[in-house]
Amino acid sequence: MTPPCHPRNLVLAALVLLGGASLLVLLGGASLLVLLGGASLTACKPSTPSPPPPEASDASASPLTPAPPPPAQPLQPPSAFSTITDPAARSIALFTEAGRVLTHPRCTNCHPADGVPRQGMHHQPHTPAVIGGPDGHGPPGLPCASCHQATNIALQGATLRSIPGDPHWALAPAAMAWLDRSLTQICEQLKDPQRNGGKTLTALHHHMAEDTLVGWAWAPGPDREPAPGTQRAFGELIAAWIETGAHCPSPAPERRDTTTP
Ligand code: HEC
Ligand code: HEC
């Protein structure tokens, strides 16, 4: 008599798939399998159509992306602005499009002026209460890394779906504040070596286009809206902005119309 291995295997496979993203859960699933299955599982023969889902093995290949992200709002490519003949006006239009990322909560929550990180789409103060501390990594007793791991951690059965993660998780210094700032102010801050960590425009572009902490904004974990477009598309806009002279939008309260040639 062979044990009814298939239903159990399915349940366990489902468990593993649910746990999905996290290698930890995968390992947990595997040990659970060993625990529950015990010797009887070894008696299982894949006689009937064996359904080991290919996703189960694929899951370890991309443990950080539990579910396909919701379709992001696309960013317009630099070519969409090529009809603007005046380079300065084109530069401003490019920066304004990139500004949809720069002013998105996935960026601004970590770029406040008061040393307090924010959460969510409405910039609520961080719960539990934390501060960036002397170096942005939190006070000695409660570093960011005590909760924010190297990768997003998916949570099961909790109201909170995931904890954001990156190896360099930290709060940006107040000099780099973007929260509640206009696009003009953000633009001027970005270009100011006194306030941008001594970066050239090339270094700035590299940081925006390549940095993994910046890239987190497009893979922020379940239940968190990603920044518009992709990091690549954002990098292309920033590159084109720099090529056209890195002009900043007018400081006037009303944004100047830059969409007409
Ligand atoms: C005690 C645990 C803990 C500590 C310490 C902690 N965080 Fe968090 N943080 C969390 C949790 C949990 C969330 C997810 C909350 C949510 O999404 O509702 C979070 C979310 C965030 C977010 C929100 C991301 C977004 O766009 O919604 C930011 C930004 C953040 N933390 C920054 C920091 C920084 C910077 C530090 C260190 C100075 C830090 N956190 C320290 C637990 C912690
Ligand atoms: C988890 C917190 C966090 C998030 C989220 C975050 N940043 Fe930052 N950012 C930092 C920290 C810390 C620094 C300073 C250290 C450094 O230069 O790497 C910084 C610095 C920068 C700088 C360089 C200095 C300057 O002039 O501002 C740029 C550019 C930047 N971030 C872009 C972004 C963009 C774009 C996003 C969203 C797509 C983003 N950041 C999201 C923490 C964050």
| pLDDT tens digit sequence for 92-106 | 999 999 999 999 999
| pLDDT tens digit sequence for 16-34 | 333 333 333 333 333 333 3
pLDDT score at 114: 97
Backbone angles phi, psi at 92, to 5 degrees: -65, -40
Residue 11 has pLDDT above 70, yes or no: no
pLDDT score at 69: 54
What is the distance in A from the centroid of ligand 2 to the CA of 96? 18
Residue 140 has pLDDT above 50, yes or no: yes
Question: Whole-model pTM?
Answer: 0.78
pLDDT score at 156: 85
Contact between residue 117 and residue 171 where contact means Cβ atoms under 8 Å apart: yes
Given ligand 1 and candidates 106, 163, 166, which is best to mutate, with the most ligand atoms within 8 Å of its CB? 163
With a Cβ cut-off of 6 Å, ligand 1 is lined by: 105-106, 109-110, 117, 119-120, 126, 128, 130, 132, 138, 142, 144, 146-148, 160, 163-164, 170-171, 224
Q: How many CA atoms lie within 13 A of 105 on its CB side?
A: 13
Residue type, 157: G
